[in-house]
Structure 1
Amino acid sequence: MAGLELLQEVGLRIDGRRPDELRKLLCKLGVFTQADGSAYFEQGNTKVLATVYGPHEVRGGRSKILQDSAIINCQFSTATFSQVDRKNRPRGDRKSVEVTSHLKQTFSSSVKTELFPKTQIDIFVEVLQSDGGILSACINAATLALIDAGIPMKDYVCACTASLIYDIPLVDVSHAEKAGGGPELTIATLPNSDEIVYISMTHRFHLDYSSKVLDMAIQGCKQVYKLLDEAVKLHVSKLGISKK
């Protein structure tokens, strides 16, 4: 899709958003009673479910046990109906393995695993509908599920994407915008300290634009944080718990 179509002359994107505007976010905690923690996260037309189990005994043999911390085990999958081209293998393909690795990397550095030595924490994430920003949506959903499970973290882990059309940075890239061929940056931050715990890009950015795109992604993470925090406060108020 041509860049001219992705960004109109009036400065609006093809879905009517401004360059610095997120898609509509909807999230809910505690969607499954069987799990220790769960969450539903929707960003535009990208929809994700996350469940958390643990901490519990390590499975798969004593050799896997870490004496001074918990093991973070992640599994990513996509529903067969989540995309136009249906997948025969909802998990186990190269893309699923790659996202699983990124999720484990992100939460191993942000969950306070040292509080639960010799245990395992399982994070399961499934994409119900895909329309861009899959990894960032999965990170945000998993964050809410971990909070619902009561597992301590250094901070919220908030993720967002950013891209570039001509010399204008765009936040929260949809599938149509990504298909336009522009570079895409995905980051996850701890919003209260601005620490970046994950970063990746599909193509290199020109040095003149890299800082602009990074700043746009960080601002997107801060917007996501506000919405996640509101969802958590609403959830705990419904449970009758006062949030400190």
Structure 2
Amino acid sequence: MGSRLEILNAGRLRLDGRKPLEFRSLAIEVGSSSISSPSVLSRPDGCARVQQGLTSVHASVYGPREARSRGSTLHDRAILDVEVEVDPWSGRERRKRSKGDRRTTEIEAAIKATFEPVLHLHLFPRSEVSIFVTVEHQDGGVLPCAINTVTLALLDAGIPMSDYVLGVCAGMHLASNQTLIDLSALEEGSLPSLVIAYLARSRTVTLAQLETRIHADALPGLVKIAGDACAGVLLTEIDAAMRARTKKLAEAMGGKGPPYNVADISPDDSRSGIETS
């Protein structure tokens, strides 16, 4: 129990000085040719890199395009293919994960399950949308960081989606009954934790993944706090990054960037890059 008490000190500050509901520093790059994945030679239709604290993830999106395997095509929608690669030097121990490794397979499955209901794949029958994710550095929160990165890369590629999909990891400090968000690796290893993927505007949870046991009574509160964190600071940062990217593209074409805030658009307003229903 002593190790858990050290996660949050008497002043209710975490080991890295953050408050319980404070995110790590967030750095976002969208659509720059300088951030293309070194593992993929061709130029992607959309790409992004997100760094949350010491965790860094890159994502590239290709498509919609002709499916690489004709046998896997669907006549009524596009198929979604997700591949995850973890750099051998990304963690504390140098370890090369082979294709089909259990951890990378779990991340691939979680990303696919998260985004398939949100993307309008029915608009692109008999085609394929491919997502390549590279985990460059990991210090906790790898899956939620990957979800945030994939959202930005999909938007950069112009793939229609119904909402921003945002990810966060939340944990429960049992000694003080305090919820912590955006966990570091040390916190993930010490606290019961939950990863959610959240639709920011419709305020819907599209993925919930428990790494450890959490009491059923504590789960609703944990989900609410995690969702509020996504719809607050995280949405503001992601939206600002996309507005800056849109403005840059518009200026390159001789126009002006959008004067509105995407997060403030009502569900029946079609001005944003997010599809509405």
Length-normalised TM-score, structure 2 = 0.84
Given that 1:170 and 1:216 are in contact with CA atoms closer than 8 Å, whether structure 2 keeps it comes out as no
Using the TM superposition, give the Cα deviation of residue 92 of structure 1 relative to its aligned residue in structure 2, in angstroms. 2.4
Question: In structure 1, what is the equivalent of residue 18 of structure 2?
Answer: 17
Using the TM superposition, give the Cα deviation of residue 189 of structure 1 relative to its aligned residue in structure 2, in angstroms. 1.1
Using the TM superposition, give the Cα deviation of residue 42 of structure 1 relative to its aligned residue in structure 2, in angstroms. 0.5
Picking from 202, 207, 210, the partner of 2:216 is 207
Picking from 175, 192, 195, the partner of 2:185 is 175
Pairing 1:107–2:115 present: yes
Given that 1:75 and 1:125 are in contact with CA atoms closer than 8 Å, whether structure 2 keeps it comes out as yes
Pairing 1:191–2:200 present: yes
Partner SS for 1:27: strand
Question: In structure 2, what is the equivalent of residue 242 of structure 1?
Answer: 257
Letter in 2 for 1:131: D
Letter in 2 for 1:189: Y
Picking from 127, 141, 163, the partner of 2:171 is 163
Deviation string, structure 1 residues 155-204 (Cα, Å, up to 9, x no partner): 11101010001211111111010121x21100011110111111110122
Letter in 2 for 1:168: Q
Letter in 1 for 2:132: F
Letter in 1 for 2:110: H
Displaced runs of 4+ in structure 1, greater than 6 A? none
Question: In structure 2, what is the equivalent of residue 53 of structure 1?
Answer: 62
Partner SS for 1:89: coil
Using the TM superposition, give the Cα deviation of residue 90 of structure 1 relative to its aligned residue in structure 2, in angstroms. 5.1
Question: In structure 2, what is the equivalent of residue 127 of structure 1?
Answer: 135
Question: In structure 2, what is the equivalent of residue 140 of structure 1?
Answer: 148
Deviation string, structure 1 residues 103-160 (Cα, Å, up to 9, x no partner): 1111111111111111100000101100000000001000000000011100111010
Letter in 2 for 1:24: S
Distance 1:219 1:26 in 2: 20
Q: Which moved more, 1:8-17 or 1:207-216?
A: 207-216
Distance 1:177 1:88 in 2: 24
Deviation string, structure 1 residues 200-225 (Cα, Å, up to 9, x no partner): 10122113321221112112211211
Distance 2:144 2:99 in 1: 18
Distance 1:179 1:200 in 2: 15
Tell me the percent identity. Answer: 36
Letter in 2 for 1:42: Q
Given that 1:49 and 1:128 are in contact with CA atoms closer than 8 Å, whether structure 2 keeps it comes out as yes
Distance 2:257 2:127 in 1: 29
Picking from 35, 53, 72, the partner of 1:44 is 53
Given that 2:57 and 2:135 are in contact with CA atoms closer than 8 Å, whether structure 1 keeps it comes out as yes
Distance 2:98 2:156 in 1: 26
Letter in 2 for 1:191: A
Gap regions ≥5 residues in structure 1: none
Distance 2:221 2:24 in 1: 20
Deviation string, structure 1 residues 33-71 (Cα, Å, up to 9, x no partner): 71100001010110010000000011123x311111110
Distance 1:70 1:224 in 2: 29
Let me know the Cα RMSD of the aligned residues. 1.3
Gap regions ≥5 residues in structure 2: 37-42, 259-270, 272-277
Aligned length: 242
Partner SS for 1:75: strand
Letter in 2 for 1:227: E
